[in-house]
Amino acid sequence: MKERIDIENIDGQLFEIKVVDPDNSKPASFTHYLHNHKNGVSQFYKKDALSYVKEILKKEYPTEKITNQIAEEALRYLIFDLNKSVPFPAPEKPKFKFIDLFAGIGGFRLAFQNLKGKCVFTSEWDKYSKQTYKANFGEIPFGDITKPETKNYIPDNFDVLCAGFPCQAFSIAGRRGGFEDTRGTLFFDVAEIIKKKQPKAIFLENVKGLRNHDKGKTLATILNVLREDLDYYVPEPQIINAKEFGVPQNRERIFIVGFHKDTGIKDFEYPKPTNKERVLEDVLEQNKVSVKYYLSTTYIDTLRKHKARHESKGNGFGYEIIPNDGTANAVVCGGMGRERNLVFDDRLTNFKPVTNISGKVNREGIRKMTPREWARLQGFPDNFKIVVSDAQAYKQFGNSVAVPAIQATAEKIIEKLSCK
Ligand SMILES: C[S@@+](CC[C@H](N)C(=O)[O-])C[C@H]1O[C@@H](n2cnc3c(N)ncnc32)[C@H](O)[C@@H]1O
């Protein structure tokens, strides 16, 4: 069992949070089996799925002999129950298959499912993201993608590989890096999967800073590996801003799209902006929000003093209150993520003094945005279930993608592959 400790910033205080990954592939195999019963892919997961069902049945009925036949029947029965309670089931008649790597809470999955894609494999090692993923898609992601055991569960013959992988430097001395120079990084794992599975298209997403990371060498290496070593057609990557695709969030990300040489595709256009009109007010909660989101007077004072100190030194670090007709800053999970997107909402404080866990609440109506508002900033619909603590939810939405920007690009990819 592996243990990972994350540091969370909650209201200016740092907390250690243990994120334990039990590294057990059986529950993931089980849900992947159920979700793929209509296509050949389920055979990849059958052995583990059966053994998992047997384990469960043995626990439930310790005195009974659980045979393979009984387990198979139970699996068939479970397939009936599938999709009953999840808000985002797989499309009924899928037109193409994709895999969702570094899946987080499934931003890519939502976008590709909206285009009638069937997700046939997903990997994410964070325990809490897996909970959100399961609650919304009914599927449990496999764990650590760097492990050969995890990679072995990836089926053949899917059309698109999606990955929003964390950015890491490669240790290349001078020359343009190739496949072997990326060994030990998460990009190497992505490249290895592409090499082995040869998907028709790939869609990678990363922070805008990837462009200048390590003086541009990181991106140059990624492109070199994709183009030269893996022989994909990869047009110039594009910086896409979420605010141009129907959400009021200034979030710039780099998108890298590529096509297998056998597709014959030699040109690609990233999507043009679809909707720049939405403003903060469009995503704010209609009802009064809980007092816990309001900042205490002491915290606001601290933020103001801090900002004044930094501004006098010439840098604009600090909190920011976004006007109702404005655009939010990018939601991010660390640092001052929440304080950079404060809003005015005096529906709570214009009556009488109120207190919350941090003390007396400010009378100006300054509050943090709620996790649901962050979900909306990322284009997640309101029936997307939030089943984790606020701290985890902020982290998950901050780490995720702006779904409409992903979907607009995915649509262009699918158009090119002609599997609409
Ligand atoms: C930038 S986030 C991607 C979020 C995702 N695109 C979404 O829509 O929510 C990267 C994710 O990769 C996961 N991750 C990092 N290393 C991993 C590994 N070795 N195996 C599986 N998941 C990993 C992290 O837990 C994190 O959720």
Task: Say if residue 12's pLDDT is above 70.
Answer: no
Please give the tally of structural domains in the chain: 3
168 and 92 in one domain? yes
By mean pLDDT, which of 189-193, 316-320, 397-401, 410-414 is the weakest? 316-320
183-206 burial code (b ≥16 CB/10 A, e <16): eebbbbbbbbbbeebbbbbbbbbb
Q: What mean pLDDT do residues 309-333 have? A: 83
Q: Give the Å distance between the CA of 311 and the centre of ligand 1.
A: 35
Task: Say if residue 204's pLDDT is above 70.
Answer: yes
Q: CB of 168 closer than 6 A to ligand 1?
A: no
User: In this structure, are residues 137 and 86 in contact, taking their beta carbons and an 8 Å threshold?
Assistant: yes
Residues in the chain: 420
98 and 63 in one domain? no
Task: Say if residue 23's pLDDT is above 80.
Answer: no
In this prediction, residue 63 carries a pLDDT of: 86
What does the alpha-carbon distance between residue 420 and residue 414 come to, in Å, rounded to a whole number?
A: 6
Q: In this structure, is residue 142 part of a structural domain? A: yes
Q: CB of 214 closer than 6 A to ligand 1?
A: no
What average pLDDT does the chain have?
A: 88
Among 53, 82, 111, where does a domain finish? 82
359: helix, strand or coil: strand
Where is mean pLDDT largest: 179-183, 185-189, 242-246? 242-246
Q: In this structure, is residue 262 part of a structural domain? A: yes
294 and 249 in one domain? no
What does the alpha-carbon distance between residue 38 and residue 339 come to, in Å, rounded to a whole number?
A: 47
* Residue in 37, 416, 75, 52 with CA at minimum distance from that of residue 259: 416
55 and 71 in one domain? yes
User: In this structure, are residues 47 and 25 in contact, taking their beta carbons and an 8 Å threshold?
Assistant: no
Q: In this structure, is residue 387 part of a structural domain? A: no
The pLDDT tens digits of the residues spanning 363-401 come to 889 999 999 999 999 999 999 999 999 999 999 999 999
Partner residues linked to 123 by β-bridges: 142
Task: Say if residue 41's pLDDT is above 70.
Answer: yes
User: In this structure, are residues 219 and 178 in contact, taking their beta carbons and an 8 Å threshold?
Assistant: no
In this prediction, residue 18 carries a pLDDT of: 52
Is 167 catalytic? The answer is yes
Pick the catalytic residue from 162, 167, 333, 419.
167
Q: What mean pLDDT do residues 269-294 have? A: 94
Q: Going by CA atoms, what residue is nearest to atom 20 of ligand 1?
A: 144
Task: Say if residue 248's pLDDT is above 60.
Answer: yes
Q: Which residues contact 203 (CB under 8 A, 6 or more apart)?
A: 108, 160, 161, 162, 163, 255, 256, 257, 406, 409, 410, 413
The pLDDT tens digits of the residues spanning 334-352 come to 767 888 999 999 887 665 6
Q: In this structure, is residue 280 part of a structural domain? A: no
The pLDDT tens digits of the residues spanning 117-160 come to 999 999 999 999 999 999 999 999 999 999 999 999 999 999 99
Q: CB of 123 closer than 6 A to ligand 1?
A: yes
By mean pLDDT, which of 112-116, 176-180, 197-201, 253-257 is the weakest? 176-180
Q: In this structure, is residue 390 part of a structural domain? A: no
Task: Say if residue 231's pLDDT is above 70.
Answer: yes
In this prediction, residue 6 carries a pLDDT of: 55
In this prediction, residue 17 carries a pLDDT of: 52
Q: What mean pLDDT do residues 45-49 have? A: 86
Q: In this structure, is residue 202 part of a structural domain? A: yes
Q: CB of 132 closer than 6 A to ligand 1?
A: no
262 and 301 in one domain? no
Q: In this structure, is residue 317 part of a structural domain? A: yes
241 and 185 in one domain? yes
358 and 229 in one domain? no
What does the alpha-carbon distance between residue 211 and residue 346 come to, in Å, rounded to a whole number?
A: 41
Q: Which domain holds residue 343?
A: 286-369
Q: Going by CA atoms, what residue is nearest to atom 26 of ligand 1?
A: 104
Among 29, 57, 82, where does a domain finish? 82
106 and 26 in one domain? no
For the chain, percent of residues with pLDDT exceeding 70: 89
Query: Where is pLDDT greater, at 93 or 37?
Result: 93
User: In this structure, are residues 239 and 252 in contact, taking their beta carbons and an 8 Å threshold?
Assistant: yes
Among 82, 100, 128, where does a domain finish? 82
Q: Give the Å distance between the CA of 285 and the centre of ligand 1.
A: 28
Task: Say if residue 4's pLDDT is above 60.
Answer: no
The pLDDT tens digits of the residues spanning 160-171 come to 999 998 877 777
What does the alpha-carbon distance between residue 353 and residue 347 come to, in Å, rounded to a whole number?
A: 12
241 and 192 in one domain? yes
167 and 203 in one domain? yes
Task: Say if residue 8's pLDDT is above 60.
Answer: no
CA–CA distance from 298 to each of 11, 47, 302, 307, 336 (Å)?
11, 58, 6, 14, 17
Q: CB of 129 closer than 6 A to ligand 1?
A: yes
Q: How many CA atoms, within 13 angstroms, populate the side-chain half-sphere of residue 169?
A: 9
219 and 106 in one domain? yes
| pLDDT band of 314, cuts 50, 70, 90 | low
Burial of 158 (0-12, 13-18, 19+ CB in 10 A): buried
Burial of 174 (0-12, 13-18, 19+ CB in 10 A): exposed
Q: In this structure, is residue 396 part of a structural domain? A: no
User: In this structure, are residues 242 and 236 in contact, taking their beta carbons and an 8 Å threshold?
Assistant: no
Q: What is the DSSP letter of 116?
A: T
In this prediction, residue 40 carries a pLDDT of: 77
360 and 241 in one domain? no
Task: Say if residue 316's pLDDT is above 80.
Answer: no
